[in-house]
Chain A
Amino acid sequence: MSASAFRRFLDVLFDEYDEVVGPTVENGTVRLRPLESAADLSTGVVDEQEAGTYRLRPSGTPLHFSHGVGPDSLKSVVHPARSPVWTMYRSDGSLVVDPDLTPERRTAVIGAKACDLRALAVLARTQTEGPHADPGFVARHDGLFTVAVDCTHPAPTCFCGTLGEGPAAADGFDVALTELVEPESDTAEYVARVGSTRGRALLERLELDVAAPALLARAEVELRGADRALLRELPANAADVVGNSEHPHWWVVAERCLTCGNCTAVCPTCFCTDMEDRVDIDGATARRTRVWDTCFSQEYSRLGATAHRSSTMSRYRQWLTHKLGTWHDQFGESGCVGCGRCIAWCPVGIDLTAEIESLAREPAAR
């Protein structure tokens, strides 16, 4: 797919869907946002990420996806930060409740990486596979058309490879793309793969050429390079390691943790929500909204007048124990996909892979 064919591909998406969500540069960050047009797509930027660090600089290429993951994930699309629940008011002295019906929107997303797709599956399990499924989540998830892009520029904060994922998208997409520079014209070109019947139907409308073997070979070289770039890792026994609730290292992490909740906001699988009740200024109408919450707040574990988890230690421990340990008990898998967002966006640079290493060590004799 040439750069112009890619443009036609985007046109079809804009045509077919109410909303096309993709990476766009906003305040020096690659954000996942509804795009107005193809021109909004991030272009020619590469990111530098480390613990507590995220910066963009020009890449000197015409590529749209030459960066690792930004702070947003598909969570923002299928499990929005705020979703209205109901409105309550008094009528003739009696309370009346009206549901806030969320209209269904047909959304396409472009630029999802292997870790994003994996995270979407993990998140979906939390919201749809228990005894009760969130109908809003189901509708948003089922309607989502997903264009994956193989991750040729993983950040140093990523470790999806140690969890058996990426850098190429394996499944869970409608269409997957590998993005390359066409050396003759110095423009972007793409290899497209089909992941579903609706993905096939959409690509067939573009009447694309079959990818030449030379192009496929170059794509493979790109991906192999990305595979080698993964530096961090999470050990296979992480679930056992976090099970040691009394390890003194929990208190050491707590000395740095600010309990800001950035890690849970950027985590693509952190699903916790709160019910927020607000009253209009006239006192006559109350509105309930389901909002993202964080286990790092005291309010999260409030029981009556006090917080059950009042220490920073217990809140960090709850987060990591849930993510890597008790998530297995609840949903049959780990809650971590190795995207590294929590490492980059932690204002003090707490790195869960390093914390696991410390927690795995025998505590020093006291």
Chain B
Amino acid sequence: MPVANAAFVDPLLMPRVHRVVEVVPEIDDVVTIRVVPVDGPPAGFLPAQIGMVGAFGIGEAAISISSASDTTSHHDYTIRRAGAITGALTSMGAGDELWVRGPFGRPWDLDLDGCDVLIAAGGIGLAPLRSAVSAIAAERDRYRTVTLVVGARRAADLLYAREYEHWREQGVDVVPTIDRAETGWSGRVGFVPSVLDDLDVEPTRTAALVCGPDIMMRRTADSLIARGVTADRVQLTLERNMQCGNGLCGHCQLGGLLVCRDGPVVRYPAVSRWLAVEES
């Protein structure tokens, strides 16, 4: 018998095949796909961790798991149709197969006992925060006030709007806001940072979780810090082009950070210098 050569493969590059069990249309161009692995229970994860979700022959994209982290039967991915890969993923139906690697990355630090928790989401930025909302609601008495400000261009673009009432029942003060006034809208109007400026904030005990476009996160963080919130207590989750998820391929760099390894959740001081530079 010839001795086989030693051979190697990077285990983190090996995907697991998953099956789509349900597709929920959300807002324009955005759907949530619910998936289960074909070979066993889904991997455990923590809020804001990312799955590399792939479509056969097309490629994969980094997408945060938006279901609750204590749900062990399936994972949800909320995906906006933007390019070829997300186009393929958002066109899938129940029974279709895709693949997932991960979960990767650093989660939200939710050990914020006794804090007022301020959650700020811009657009589809609510997706990586949905699992944080679920986790906080599940242990609601660890925190003081919990406020979620959700911004969208139009009322029809408010993500997960059907769940706001349920979150309110769980003790989360949900404050939706839209960019411009429109017929039939009686809620707040304005961008997330300016709505936050109108809220009462007790800076010494406030912690913030922020996700949205870079400019929205910067404005939100700067404004909270200007009001006295400790910069280290402002957490952001970043989106960059991730390819490997293992910290080895270099794609998701932001300044000195490799977002898949050092993020996606970071504390604001780690990135403030780089978010301030265009195209950095």
Kindly state the interface size class of chain B when it binds its partner.
35 or more
| A279 at the B interface (CB under 8 A) | yes
A126 to B258, CA, bound (A): 11
Surface stretch bound by A, among B5-13, B112-120, B194-202: B5-13
A77 to chain B, nearest CB (A): 16
Q: Does B226 contact A (CB under 8 A)?
A: no
Q: Which of A61-69, A169-177, A269-277 is found at the contact surface with chain B?
A: A269-277
Report B-chain residues with C-beta under 8 Å of the C-beta of A273.
243-244, 248-250
Q: In chain A, what residue has the closest Cβ to B280? A: A245
Instruction: Judge whether A1 is part of the interface by a CB distance below 8 angstroms.
Output: no
A62 CA / B172 CA spacing, docked (Å): 80
Chain A's closest residue to B17 (CB) is: A95
In angstroms, Cα B252 to Cα A300, docked, is: 9
Residues of B within 8 A of A311 (CB): 279
Let me know if A191 is at the binding interface, CB within 8 A. no
The smallest beta-carbon distance between B20 and chain A, in angstroms, is 12
Whether, in the assembled complex, A353 has its beta carbon less than 8 Å from a beta carbon of chain B, the answer is no
Contacts of B239 in A (CB 8 A): 303
Number of residues on chain A facing chain B (CB within 8 A): 57
Minimum CB–CB distance from A242 to chain B (whole Å) comes to: 11
Complex Cα spacing A326 to B83, Å: 30
C-alpha spacing A314/B254, complex, angstroms:
12
What is the bound-complex CA distance between A290 and B250, given in angstroms?
A: 13
**Could you tell me which residues of chain B, from 46 to 68, have a CB within 8 Å of some CB in chain A?**
54, 56-60
Contact: B59 with A132, CB < 8 Å? no
Main secondary structure of the interface of A (DSSP, over half): mixed
Give the number of A-B contacts (CB < 8 Å): 144
The residues of B that contact A302 with a CB separation of less than 8 Å are: 83, 241
Q: Which of A104, A245, A278 has the most B CB atoms < 10 Å from its CB?
A: A245
A97-B14, A300-B241, A300-B251 given as contacts; is B9 within 8 A of A131 (CB)? no
Q: Are B249 and A272 in contact (CB under 8 A)?
A: yes
Judge whether B253 is part of the interface by a CB distance below 8 angstroms. Answer: yes
Chain B residue numbers with a CB within 8 Å of A309 are 279
Residue with the greatest number of chain A CB neighbours at <10 A, chosen from B86, B246, B251: B251
Given contacts A97-B15, A130-B261, A326-B253, contact A275 B241 (CB under 8 A): no
Contact yes or no, B261 A139, CB < 8 A: no
A199 at the interface (CB under 8 A from B): no
Evaluate whether A95 and B246 lie within 8 angstroms (CB atoms) in the complex, with A88-B56, A326-B255 already known.
Answer: no
Contact B243 A135 (CB under 8 A): no
Per DSSP, chain B at the interface is: loop
Which of B240, B247, B280 is in CB contact (< 8 Å) with A303? B240
The reply on A283 being an interface residue by CB < 8 A is: yes
Given the contacts A103-B7, A135-B10, A311-B279, A286 and B255 also touching, CB distance less than 8 Å: no
Q: Mark A306-320, 1 if CB is under 8 A from B, else 0.
A: 001111011000100
Chain A residues with Cβ below 8 Å from B261 are 130-131
Contact A88 B255 (CB under 8 A): no
* Structural contact, A301 and B7, CB atoms closer than 8 A: no
Given contacts A101-B7, A300-B241, contact A329 B249 (CB under 8 A): no
Question: For the complex, what is the distance from the CA of A308 to the CA of B58, rounded to whole Å?
Answer: 21
Contact of A301 among B17, B82, B241, B244 (CB under 8 A): B241
Q: Which residues of A contact B251 (CB under 8 A)?
A: 272, 274, 293, 300-301
CB of B1 within 8 A of chain A?
no
A180 to chain B, nearest CB (A): 39
Q: Does B140 contact A (CB under 8 A)?
A: no
A135 to B14, CA, bound (A): 13
Is A357's CB within 8 Å of the partner chain B?
A: no
Q: Cβ of A85 and Cβ of B248 under 8 Å apart? A: no
Q: What's the Cα separation between A331 and B30 when bound, in Å? A: 38
Question: A314: which of B8, B14, B57, B279 is its contact (CB, 8 Å)?
Answer: B279
**CB-CB contacts of A65-94 with B at 8 A, as 1s and 0s?**
000000000000000000001101010001
**Chain B contacts of A136 at CB under 8 A?**
8-10
Q: Does A102 contact B (CB under 8 A)?
A: yes
A293 CA to B253 CA in the complex, in Å?
14
Report the bound CA distance from A326 to B59 in whole Å: 29
Minimum CB–CB distance for B124 against chain A, Å = 10
Asked if A99 is an interface residue, CB under 8 A from chain B, the answer is yes
Shortest beta-carbon distance from A90 to chain B in Å = 8
**Nearest CB in chain B to that of A309: its residue:** B279
Q: Is the CB of A277 within 8 A of B58?
A: yes
Which residues from chain A contact B256 at a C-beta distance below 8 Å? Answer: 326, 328-330
> What is the CA–CA distance of A101 and B12 in the complex, to the nearest angstrom?
14
Chain A positions within 8 Å of B280 at CB level = 245, 314, 318
Query: Which are the 9 A-B pairs with shortest beta-carbon distances?
Result: A329-B256, A304-B82, A314-B279, A272-B250, A101-B7, A279-B57, A99-B9, A103-B5, A286-B57
A-B contact pairs, 23 of them (CB 8 A): A88-B99, A95-B97, A96-B17, A103-B5, A103-B7, A132-B12, A134-B246, A136-B8, A271-B248, A271-B249, A272-B249, A273-B249, A275-B60, A277-B54, A277-B59, A286-B56, A290-B244, A293-B243, A293-B251, A300-B241, A303-B241, A304-B86, A326-B255
- Given contacts A95-B17, A136-B8, A277-B59, 4 further A-B pairs with CB under 8 A are A136-B9, A272-B249, A275-B59, A283-B57
